Amino acid sequence: MSAVVEPPAADAGAAPFCAWCGGARAEGDHAACERRLATVDPPRHCPVCARRMVVQVDPVGWTARCSRHGESAGTNGFA
């Protein structure tokens, strides 16, 4: 039996949840969410578990921390 291993939090492209609204990526339209994430806004939800993350924005970028999956970081305009 081989179970599918969930990707790490950093691999947001394959993660099951939208990092902006926390909804399931397979349901609904997240084009607007992805546009925001690609331009001005840091993610607010963990893409792996959809928990709300603690987000800090600073002049050079942002860090977002999930209580289960740890910290991820990016820079402004990280499309």
Q: Does 30 bind Zn ion (CB under 5 A)?
A: yes
Q: Does 68 bind Zn ion (CB under 5 A)?
A: yes
Choose among 9, 17, 5: nearest CA to 71: 9
Q: How far is the CB of 28 from Zn ion (least distance, A)?
A: 7
Give whichever of 3 and 26 is closer to Zn ion, judged by the CB atom. Answer: 26
Q: Does 48 bind Zn ion (CB under 5 A)?
A: yes
Q: How far is the CB of 65 from Zn ion (least distance, A)?
A: 9
Interaction site with Zn ion (CB under 5 A): 18, 20-21, 23, 30, 33, 46, 48-49, 51, 66, 68-69
